[in-house]
Amino acid sequence: MATSLKNERLQEICGNLREQLFRNGTKGLSGVARVFRSADFNGNKKLDKEEFGEALSFAGLFLSSQDVSFLFRNFDRDNDGNINYDELLHGIQKPLAGKRLEVTKRAFNKLDKDGSGVVDIKDFKLAYDASKHPDVKEGVKTEEQAAMQFLGTFERGIKDGKITFAEFAAYYEDLGSSIPSDEYYVAMMRSVWKLKPKVSKDGSSPIDTYMRLLAKKIQQKTKTGQRESLTLKKIFDFFDADESKAITLPEFTAALERMGLILKAADLKAFFDHFAGSDKRISTMEFITKMNLDD
């Protein structure tokens, strides 16, 4: 039981750090790793408790003193008063699994045109439009140079212009550490790699899927004994800036993001139009009624 509670608290603290990374706009844990390396004056990949606390602050990550102590004790594996920060970063990192792993495989398979399991510059150029790169537009780089530079961000070993799925997945596992929501991660991957949404086996429409996701998010945010419709009303009222009892597309977008539901622009517009009236606004009460929440 004690071990279970310890693991639960560890996951809660790591989740807190991922949320902060997301809010700070950090691109994965690579920036945090650089701060830790800078604090590691003797280069042994270890930090004592004081160095660890200061490094967290420099990285823009803030925890209570109790949580810092708990995290430090958890990763001080040999009880020598130091932690291996590579192990710590790996502990914070959210493994690719479930929907994240599935959409990452779809993106890689889209790149891997010949199914060889290795993506090279020829495959990459078919999926990545380097002509839009600022340096290409300014004539500083050729399209191939820009594509190679981007391709190189995925390479973890020898820089040979080729990437395996392991390297591709490692890049997105690091990046995904600053994206706590699976829905946001999937939406990002679909947008970046222009992946078409998968058709549901039960034949349901994307709108039905979004409504189920939204209902689940509302349920998660509703305290025991509280009505789900009241939770939704409070969130939408918060974003109803002019108190008109109706919200616009930008307000609708902000409300969904508050609940952790991030959609591509086209999907978001379709979801909004499903509820909006002729005035291109959504009445809060009509939205609640259409959601048909079980209270």
Question: What residue segments make up the domains of the chain, in order of their start?
Answer: 2-92, 98-192, 206-291
Give the per-residue pLDDT at 3.
67
CATH of 98-192, one of 3.40.50.2300, 1.10.238.10, 1.10.240.10, 3.40.50.300: 1.10.238.10
User: At residue 121, what is the residue type?
Assistant: I
CATH of 206-291, one of 1.10.1270.20, 1.10.238.10, 3.60.70.12, 1.20.59.10: 1.10.238.10
Residue 1's pLDDT band (cuts 50, 70, 90) = very low
Q: pLDDT tens for residues 80-133?
A: 888 887 777 777 777 788 888 999 998 898 888 778 888 886 777 777 667 766
Whether 158 has a pLDDT exceeding 70, the answer reads: no
Q: pLDDT tens for residues 188-242?
A: 788 778 787 665 555 556 777 888 888 887 787 787 777 887 887 887 777 777 7
Give the per-residue pLDDT at 104.
92
| Angstrom distances, CA of residue 94 to CA of 53, 185, 280 | 22, 12, 39
Whether 26 has a pLDDT exceeding 70, the answer reads: no
Question: What average pLDDT does the segment 264-277 reach?
Answer: 80
Whether 276 has a pLDDT exceeding 60, the answer reads: yes
Give the per-residue pLDDT at 105.
92
Residue tagged 């040999």 (tokens): 78
Question: What average pLDDT does the segment 54-70 reach?
Answer: 88
Are 184 and 193 contacting, i.e. CB atoms less than 8 angstroms apart?
no
Residue 258's pLDDT band (cuts 50, 70, 90) = confident
CATH of 2-92, one of 1.10.3720.10, 3.40.630.30, 1.10.357.10, 1.10.238.10: 1.10.238.10
- % residues pLDDT > 70 (the chain): 88
pTM (predicted TM-score) = 0.54
CA–CA gap between residue 31 and residue 242 (Å, rounded): 39
CB under 8 Å to 117, separation ≥6 — which residues?
164, 165
Give the per-residue pLDDT at 205.
67
Residue 6's pLDDT band (cuts 50, 70, 90) = confident
| Highest mean pLDDT: which range of 43-52, 104-113, 131-140 | 104-113
Question: What average pLDDT does the segment 148-159 reach?
Answer: 72
Whether 53 has a pLDDT exceeding 50, the answer reads: yes
Q: Mean pLDDT across the chain, nearest whole number?
A: 79
**2-92 and 206-291 have identical folds:** yes
Give the β-pairing of 162-164 and 118-120: antiparallel
| Cβ burial 223-260 (10 Å sphere, 16+ → b, else e) | eeeeebbebbbebbeebbeeeeebbbbebbbbbbeebb
Least confident of 7-11, 59-63, 274-278: 274-278
Give the per-residue pLDDT at 50.
87
Least confident of 26-30, 87-91, 149-153, 177-181: 26-30
